[in-house]
Structure formats: structure tokens, C-alpha cells
């Protein structure tokens, strides 16, 4: 590791930085845990959903007679039965004032807008009885034309929601000239020596978390209790209250152990509302657990965009402007943060580069498909993919090495803090250091030489090298910024630290772990802060009656926001204990110092005993002898709202071998050097990076949600939706450089999404690098063997088309820069290599 910042590290580092084995894993691995579906309550009913097989249809009749008469069935409810109770599912992020959206019913009432939408629910004594009876619900549909293709839908050829009058929900624009953060892109394009214009496709993906969604509602107590496999118990509770008109105080939401989410459980789902309604209707506890097919079909999907980029540059390779125009597929409805997902990428297309001019616009479009929403990285993988693909294209136009062109344009480490063309302040980073380390581990120059040899010898298997130098903004917060983006909530996080009379510590966090290892990391942090053993810290979360306040886990925010809240609460505990310690030591509070769990008097020598926090906690519990006016409690709460995002970055290098006869691709080497600031637990970080890499690589090579021309999801099982396993991946080489974040005490940045954000373009750039020699210009993801083979065949035949027609507007007649790109593109002599090697 290369330390590149000499700011002081967090004060005590006994636990922070250790590769502690996760304390939650014993329970999880041995199965001594409770997922939502494990909950069994007396008299509990089981629910099964009846779903529309059609993408767009009017419901002309529902006959529930046979289902009601089926064995074990207690209730069958249709949209008609609940239409006045169910409200409309919430969207917390209307991106513009005039955003258009249809009502979003939990159960469709008279029309279905995607295949998989719930049209009725059956409650029965067993899940088998419920499923059997669900098949007996007889629904009559009258087919309506379905809007399926994103680009056609943007033209309103077929309306996904006829009453809305258009498929275009909203258009969101950022322009650096208008915002005063940069100059005009149109001017940059007009004056450019080189203009590169490309269109990329972000295919539709499915989050595919390991634990299927499940919800249990118990209506038999004073409060409705909902257990749910959710990332967001606090937001869910608030939204249930607002959607259903139930007092917030009468709802308790519990997220027990949750098996992964990747954004897929950052949602308020129709099924949660329905389970609540049926429990209230029947007066019995109700459980719904989805099948994998249901999950793939109806849990929200991710990505699905067309991205058009125009990059303007000088002949020497200096980029002068970037214009980004997106079409984003919302699917049939707006979920919790659906419209905001592409906007989360808006400030990231300029990435690590010093572009002086930037324009971003995104049009959100409805189609008759499952709605999209957050998926690991949310907006930032799209941005990283597009910019890293087009930086390669620029290098290609210039006939330069792609790393060299990046280096020429990126922010050098001396330039931090750096205010970007979007107005974000990048607090720290060192792209040179990460890149140098990555190249060294990768053997960049040797691989380039091998690539050349293979090309020359006409090897059947060609080698390609792909680069992705990425950054991301993470740790959602700050509330002020979210407010300026019309987001419906803040981005703070809450924590409490409770000192128990035995000296043990309870930490209550508003973050809601679902696989991240917060229990371990928070214990490490608190152990250092309070000087108590790691084992003595108990972390509680995910139950709104225990953790009454919080904004949950997504957007790589837990450590940088929630972790800091924990630190702040721990610091308050120390300050609350200080007067009591001074009282016991008969010293002035200001003369005390707190270290390794005890207060001592400054300058009184190393042999003094001092008083320990555990003893003080017991004294406070007894409260027999406290200083005058002291409240008998050391417990403290803190709510933290950061002033800035954190900006992890890194350099990812990928070598792909492509069999030119079959199109099969094999990963030869993958190296990533990430700078995520200081690290609390390197083992957890390694796990996050590996998982993220695989998810990003999967977008590049394997995964895609495919609909047929009737709007049926045909990749609705793991036979067709090819989720990778360890057998499909190689050993990754990972390392880190460290530029601590300045926005929190630990100097940490988020890592939950980094691997997923960075890896996709590295892989696709590598595949293309191997086969561009055959005339291939692009391959739409996922780069399956068939697509690679076809690209080679088409390219060899000279049939591969340039970026076509409407996508290449700047090459239209009368537009500037009509010279063939090669003419003005020769690298100028004496090109300045900005930054250089660290």
C-alpha cells in the first residue's frame, strides 16, 4: 500500500484496520438465524399472488369463485376489493416539477401495465394451498398494445399508459455553462479538432439477490409488526404509514437477517402493501415469500438505458467538452427512487477528468415492462462505462495508447481538492499512484508486447487489454445536495451508544445491514473509540422499535455516514462520563484525558490507575454518588449529516482472450487497485470488492433481462438469466492505495459498489481491444460468444456500421468538424504528460 496523505490517522487504531473475522458469520453459516421466511406465527396464513401474464391489458373480469372454494382458502382479494385502501406506491424522487407518472397500485384494478403485475391475492392455510388456489382465479383480459422498445416508446409510438398521453415521464438537464461551473459544450464541440460521438446500450439487469423477498405481517398486537427482507426498514415504515394512512406509531418494521439486496431491496413493494392489507383484512398473521421465478419477473430490474456521448478534444488529446444524452427505461411504474437512478450518474460522466465543459440530459421513459430502480452502483456504473468506453474511442481516433490519453486528462494528485465541472468537490485522490500500482501488478507492458506478438502471428486466440480508471460519489447524503435534487428525504444517519451496567456496550445503528458485516465493523470502531474489547460490543439494527431512527443502507453510505454517527455518539458518551470521572478522581474535567477505555489525569504519570468506562457505567447505573446535577446516564445519540460525498477511485485492468473462431471469451487477468481511503476491516473490503467485480463483469459478459415481442420476460429463470458463480470467474489481483477522505473522522470512503462500477468497462474495452483489428467497432453487452463471433464475422466482412443516423447528429451535413477524424488527430509533438508517475 502506498500512503499518499500524511494527515493523522484516527486516534486509536487497535481494532480499526484489523482483518477481523465477521462476528455475524458463525450464526449465518451454521443456519442459526432467522430470515423473514423462517418466522412462523400462530394461526399464520400464507399468501400467493395472481400475476398478469400479459404486458398490457384491460382487466375485463375476475372470477374468484373457484379459488374461494378451494381447500384451505380463507380470502381472495382483487384490486376492486382494495382500490380504496391501497393508495399508490410511493416514489420518493420526483426529479422535475412537471414529472408525469401514473398511479402505482399494489394490486392492479382495471388495467395491467407489465407482465408480472399482481391482479389478485389468495390467503390460505398453507403456501401450497394458496398457490394452487391462485391458479384457479380466472381473469379475463382484453389485450392492449404494449410499449416495449425504449427508443420507440420515447417517440410515443405506443403508449404504456394511455391516460398519461405520453411515455416521457421527465427530462432532467445539467449544463455547466448554465450552472456556472464550466463553459459551453456546444462551443467546445464547434471548436474541437476531434469529435467522437458514440452510442452505448446499458442492458436491463436483474439484481438477483440470494434471499428471495419475503414479508410477514402480524396484525394481532397494538402495533402492526412487519418483518420484511428489506434494505430499508425505516423508510418502509414511513412509507407504509403515508401510503396506507396508518399512524406511524402503530407500525413496527423489522428487517431480520437479510440475504443481500444490491439495491433490489431498496423498495417499498406491492407485496409488502398487500401482505399488510390481507393481514388487516383477515386479522391473522400473513406471510408472503416469493419463488425465484416471481423474483426475476416482478422484483424491480436495473439499468436499461441508451447513452449517447459526444466528446470534443484538441488534436493533442486534451478533452474540451463532454455531452451526454440519455434515454432511461423506467418500466411500467415509478418505484421508490426509479426516476433518480440515472440522475445519480449525472455528475459522474466527467469522472476523474478535467473537462472544462459538460452537458447532461436524461429523458425517463415508460414502457410495459417490470419497473426499474436501484441496482448496485445506480447511475454510476452507467456513467463509468460510457466515459471509459469513449476515452478508449478517443485514443483510437488519435492513434494513442488509451492509458496515455486518460493520464493527459485526469486530475493530478497535486490538484486536490478539485472542483469538477459539475461543481462537486473531490476531496482527495491519487490516480497516478493507483494506476502505477495496477500496471505493475498487471504487467501492462509485457501484456501489450504479447498482444502484439499474437496479432502478428495471427493466433487463433487474440489478447485484449481493457482499462477502467474510475471514480464514484458515494455515501448518500449530504442532505443539502439530495434536497437540491428534489429527493424526498435527507441523507443523515443516526446512532446510539448505550453503556450497560456490566460495562458492555450496545450500539444501535440506523444503517440496516443485509450482508455487509456492519456488526463486525461497528464493533471494531466502537472498541477503539471507547477502549472496550471488540467482543463486548453488541450491534443492534433493523428493528424500528430498537433502532427508532435511520435512513438505512444503500449507495455505499453505511460506513461513511452511519459509521461516523456511531463515532459521534461514542464521543458524546466519553464527554458525558468526563464529569463523573473528574468527580471520582477529584480533578478538573479539563485536566483529564481519555485513552484505552479510561480517564487519567494529564501529567500525573503513567502509573496512575485512573477510572475505567465500565466502572463509570456501573456508578451511573447505581446513581448513588454522582456530581451535582448529573443525569444518571452515559448513553448518547448522534445524527450525522456529512458535508460532502466521498470519492473512492481506482484503476482496473483486464486482459481478455478471445477465441476468434468461436467467439468464446476467457478472462486471463484482472487487476484492481482501489483507493477507498482508510480501511476498517480489510477482509470485509476484499469481499465487497470481489463481489462487486463479479457483478460488474457479469454485466459485461453474461447477464441480460430479455423480453420477447409480446412483453414476456423470457430470461425469467437462472437457466436463461445467466448469473455467474465462482466457477465462471478467475482469481482477482486486488490492492489498494490510500488517500484518506476528509469528510469523516476515519478517513474512509465507500466500497460497496466500487467493484461493480469499475469492472464493466474494463472487460468490454478488453474484448474490443482483442478484436478491433477485424473491423469491430462495438459489441452490445453482454458480450456473449455469439455476439463476439458475429461481430468478428460482420467486421471481417466490412459490414459493421458506424454509429448510425440520429446517434451521430454532430456529423450531419453543415455541422462543424467535417474533416475525417484522422486528419486533425495526429498527436501534437511535445504533448505534455500531465501528472506523470507518482
Residue with cell 463476439: 788
Q: At closest approach, how far in Å is the CB of 308 from another protein?
A: 30
Nearer to another protein among residue 157 and residue 802 (C-beta): 157
Does 673 contact another protein by CB under 8 A?
A: no
Nearer to another protein among residue 115 and residue 564 (C-beta): 115
**Rounded-to-integer distance, Cα 465 and Cα 657, Å:** 9
DSSP string, 118-180: EEEEEEESSHHHHHHHHTT-EEEEEE------HHHHHTTSS-SSGGGS-SEEEEEEEEHHHHT
Q: At closest approach, how far in Å is the CB of 71 from another protein?
A: 16
Per CB under 8 A, the segment of 46-54, 570-578, 658-666, 745-753 that binds another protein is: 46-54
In Å, how far are 118, 175, 247, 258, 317 from 193, measured between CA atoms? 55, 22, 62, 53, 9
Buried b (16+ CB within 10 A) or exposed e, 528-542: bbbbbebebbbbebb
Q: At closest approach, how far in Å is the CB of 716 from another protein?
A: 5
Per CB under 8 A, the segment of 24-32, 47-55, 453-461, 762-770 that binds another protein is: 47-55
Does 815 contact another protein by CB under 8 A?
A: no
Nearer to another protein among residue 499 and residue 713 (C-beta): 713
Report whether 386 contacts 305 (CB < 8 A): no
**Cβ–Cβ contacts within 10 Å for residue 176, how many?**
25
Does 136 contact another protein by CB under 8 A?
A: yes
Strand order in the sheet with 168-175: 168-175, 358-366, 319-331, 302-313, 194-205
> What is the grid cell recorded at 744?
469523516
Per CB under 8 A, the segment of 133-141, 404-412, 666-674, 825-833 that binds another protein is: 133-141
Does 142 contact another protein by CB under 8 A?
A: no
Looking only at residues 143 through 202 of this chain, which bind another protein when binding is defined by CB under 8 A?
143
**Rounded-to-integer distance, Cα 123 and Cα 597, Å:** 54
**Rounded-to-integer distance, Cα 268 and Cα 239, Å:** 7
Which of 733, 607, 571, 579 shows the shortest CA–CA distance to 667? 733
Nearer to another protein among residue 54 and residue 405 (C-beta): 54
Q: At closest approach, how far in Å is the CB of 114 from another protein?
A: 12
- Ranges of H-type helices in 623-681: none
Per CB under 8 A, the segment of 31-39, 135-143, 415-423, 830-838 that binds another protein is: 135-143
Nearer to another protein among residue 115 and residue 202 (C-beta): 115
Q: At closest approach, how far in Å is the CB of 115 from another protein?
A: 7
Which of 115, 269, 471, 737 forms a contact with another protein (CB under 8 A)? 115
Strands (E), 531-684: 537-541, 592-595, 598-601, 611-612, 636-640, 649-659, 665-675
DSSP at 183: B
SS3 category, 794? helix
Q: At closest approach, how far in Å is the CB of 268 from another protein?
A: 25
**Rounded-to-integer distance, Cα 539 and Cα 559, Å:** 14
Nearer to another protein among residue 719 and residue 799 (C-beta): 719
Q: At closest approach, how far in Å is the CB of 371 from another protein?
A: 19
Does 51 contact another protein by CB under 8 A?
A: yes
Does 370 contact another protein by CB under 8 A?
A: no
Nearer to another protein among residue 53 and residue 423 (C-beta): 53
Contacts with another protein by CB under 8 A: the residue count is 23
Q: At closest approach, how far in Å is the CB of 52 from another protein?
A: 8
Does 666 contact another protein by CB under 8 A?
A: no
Q: In what helix (H) or strand (E) does residue 444 lie, and over which residues does it extend?
A: helix 444-457
Which of 714, 806, 823, 826 forms a contact with another protein (CB under 8 A)? 714
Does 535 contact another protein by CB under 8 A?
A: no
Per CB under 8 A, the segment of 138-146, 284-292, 518-526, 639-647 that binds another protein is: 138-146
Does 721 contact another protein by CB under 8 A?
A: no
Q: At closest approach, how far in Å is the CB of 138 from another protein?
A: 8
The mark string for 694-713 relative to another protein (x by CB under 8 A, - otherwise) is --------------xxxxxx
Does 137 contact another protein by CB under 8 A?
A: yes
**Rounded-to-integer distance, Cα 294 and Cα 51, Å:** 9
DSSP string, 213-234: PEEEEE-SSSSEEEEE--S-HH
Q: At closest approach, how far in Å is the CB of 229 from another protein?
A: 24
DSSP at 20: P
N- to C-terminal Cα separation, the chain:
13
Looking only at residues 303 through 362 of this chain, which bind another protein when binding is defined by CB under 8 A?
none
Nearer to another protein among residue 53 and residue 579 (C-beta): 53
Residues of this chain that interact with another protein (CB under 8 A) are: 50-51, 53-55, 115, 134-137, 139-141, 143, 708-714, 716-717
Amino acid at each position: 500500500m502506498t500512503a499518499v496523505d500524511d494527515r493523522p490517522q484516527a486516534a486509536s487504531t487497535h481494532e480499526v484496520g484489523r482483518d477481523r473475522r465477521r462476528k455475524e458469520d458463525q450464526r449465518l453459516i451454521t443456519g442459526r438465524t432467522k430470515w423473514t421466511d423462517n418466522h412462523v406465527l400462530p394461526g399464520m396464513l400464507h399468501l400467493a399472488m395472481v400475476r398478469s401474464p400479459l404486458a398490457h391489458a384491460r382487466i375485463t373480469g375476475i372470477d374468484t369463485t373457484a379459488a374461494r372454494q378451494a381447500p384451505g382458502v380463507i380470502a381472495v382479494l382483487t384490486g376492486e376489493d382494495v382500490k380504496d385502501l391501497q393508495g399508490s406506491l410511493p416514489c420518493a424522487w420526483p426529479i422535475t416539477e412537471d414529472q408525469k407518472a401514473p398511479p402505482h397500485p399494489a394490486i392492479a384494478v382495471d388495467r395491467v401495465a407489465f407482465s408480472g403485475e399482481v391482479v389478485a391475492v389468495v390467503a390460505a392455510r398453507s403456501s401450497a394451498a394458496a398457490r394452487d388456489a391462485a391458479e384457479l382465479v380466472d381473469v379475463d383480459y382484453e389485450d392492449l398494445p404494449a410499449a416495449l422498445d425504449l427508443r420507440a416508446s420515447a417517440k410515443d409510438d405506443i403508449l404504456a399508459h394511455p391516460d398519461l398521453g405520453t411515455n416521457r415521464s421527465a427530462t432532467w438537464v445539467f449544463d455547466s455553462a448554465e450552472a456556472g461551473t464550466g463553459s459551453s459544450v456546444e462551443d467546445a464541440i464547434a471548436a474541437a479538432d476531434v469529435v467522437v460521438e458514440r452510442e452505448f446500450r446499458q442492458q436491463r439487469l436483474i439484481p438477483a439477490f440470494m434471499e428471495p423477498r419475503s414479508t410477514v405481517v402480524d396484525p394481532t398486537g397494538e402495533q402492526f409488526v412487519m418483518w420484511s427482507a428489506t434494505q430499508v426498514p425505516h423508510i418502509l415504515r414511513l412509507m407504509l404509514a403515508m401510503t396506507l394512512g396508518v399512524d406511524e406509531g402503530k407500525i413496527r418494521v423489522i428487517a431480520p437477517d437479510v440475504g443481500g439486496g444490491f439495491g433490489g431491496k431498496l423498495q417499498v413493494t406491492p407485496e409488502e402493501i398487500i401482505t399488510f392489507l390481507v393481514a388487516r383484512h383477515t386479522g391473522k398473521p400473513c406471510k408472503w415469500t416469493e419463488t425465484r421465478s416471481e423474483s426475476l419477473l416482478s422484483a424491480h430490474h436495473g439499468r436499461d438505458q441508451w447513452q449517447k456521448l459526444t466528446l470534443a478534444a484538441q488534436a493533442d488529446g486534451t478533452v474540451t467538452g463532454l455531452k451526454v444524452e440519455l434515454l432511461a427505461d423506467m418500466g411500467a411504474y415509478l418505484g421508490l427512487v426509479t426516476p433518480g437512478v440515472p440522475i445519480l450518474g449525472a455528475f459522474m460522466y466527467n469522472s476523474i477528468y478535467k473537462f472544462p465543459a459538460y452537458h447532461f440530459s436524461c429523458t425517463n421513459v415508460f414502457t410495459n415492462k417490470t419497473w426499474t430502480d436501484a441496482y448496485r452502483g445506480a447511475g454510476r456504473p452507467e456513467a463509468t462505462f460510457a466515459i471509459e468506453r469513449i476515452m478508449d474511442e478517443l485514443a483510437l481516433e488519435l492513434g494513442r495508447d488509451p492509458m496515455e490519453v486518460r493520464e493527459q486528462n485526469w486530475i493530478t494528485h497535486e490538484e486536490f481538492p478539485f472542483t469538477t465541472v459539475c461543481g462537486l468537490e473531490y476531496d482527495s485522490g491519487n490516480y497516478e499512484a493507483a494506476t502505477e500500482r495496477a500496471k505493475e501488478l498487471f504487467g501492462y507492458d509485457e501484456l501489450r508486447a504479447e498482444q502484439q506478438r499474437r496479432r502478428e502471428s495471427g493466433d487463433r486466440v487474440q489478447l485484449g487489454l481493457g482499462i477502467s480508471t474510475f471514480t464514484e460519489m458515494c455515501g448518500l447524503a449530504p442532505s443539502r445536495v439530495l434536497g437540491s435534487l428534489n429527493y424526498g428525504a435527507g441523507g443523515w444517519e443516526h446512532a446510539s451508544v448505550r453503556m450497560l451496567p456490566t460495562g458492555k456496550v450496545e450500539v444501535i445503528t440506523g444503517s440496516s445491514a443485509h450482508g455487509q458485516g456492519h456488526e463486525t465493523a461497528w464493533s471494531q470502531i466502537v472498541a477503539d473509540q471507547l477502549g472496550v474489547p471488540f467482543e463486548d460490543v453488541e450491534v443492534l439494527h433493523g428493528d424500528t422499535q430498537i433502532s427508532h431512527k435511520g435512513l438505512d443502507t444503500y449507495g455505499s453510505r453505511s460506513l461513511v455516514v452511519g459509521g461516523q454517527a456511531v463515532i459521534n455518539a461514542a464521543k458524546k458518551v466519553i464527554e458525558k462520563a468526563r464529569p463523573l470521572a473528574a468527580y471520582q478522581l477529584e480533578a478538573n474535567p479539563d485536566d483529564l484525558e481519555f485513552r484505552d477505555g479510561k480517564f487519567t489525569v494529564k501529567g500525573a504519570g503513567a502509573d496512575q490507575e485512573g477510572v475505567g468506562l465500565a466502572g463509570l457505567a456501573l456508578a451511573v447505573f447505581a446513581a448513588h454518588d454522582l456530581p451535582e446535577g448529573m443525569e444518571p446516564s452515559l448513553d448518547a445519540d448522534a445524527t450525522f449529516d456529512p458535508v460532502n460525498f466521498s470519492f473512492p477511485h481506482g484503476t482496473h485492468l483486464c486482459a481478455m482472450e478471445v477465441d476468434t473462431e468461436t467467439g468464446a471469451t476467457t478472462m486471463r487477468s484482472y487487476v484492481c487497485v482501489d483507493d477507498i481511503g482508510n480501511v476498517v476491516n480489510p477482509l470485509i473490503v476484499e469481499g465487497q470488492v470481489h463481489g462487486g467485480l463479479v457483478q460488474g463483469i457479469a454485466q459485461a459478459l453474461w447477464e441480460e433481462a430479455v423480453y420477447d415481442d409480446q412483453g414476456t420476460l423470457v430470461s425469467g429463470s437462472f437457466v436463461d438469466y445467466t448469473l455467474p458463480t465462482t466457477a465462471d470467474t478467475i482469481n482477482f489481483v486486488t490492492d489498494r492505495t490510500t488517500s484518506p477522505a476528509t469528510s469523516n473522522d476515519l478517513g474512509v470512503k465507500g466500497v460497496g459498489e466500487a467493484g461493480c462500477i469499475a469492472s464493466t468497462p474494463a472487460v468490454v474495452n478488453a474484448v474490443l481491444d482483442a478484436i478491433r483489428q477485424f473491423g469491430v467497432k462495438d459489441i452490445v453487452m453482454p458480450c456473449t460468444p455469439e455476439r463476439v463471433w458475429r461481430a468478428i464475422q460482420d467486421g471481417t466482412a466490412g459490414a459493421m456500421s458506424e454509429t448510425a443516423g440520429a446517434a451521430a447528429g454532430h456529423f450531419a451535413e453543415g455541422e462543424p468538424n467535417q474533416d475525417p477524424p484522422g486528419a486533425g488527430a495526429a498527436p501534437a509533438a511535445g504533448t505534455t504528460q500531465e501528472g506523470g508517475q507518482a
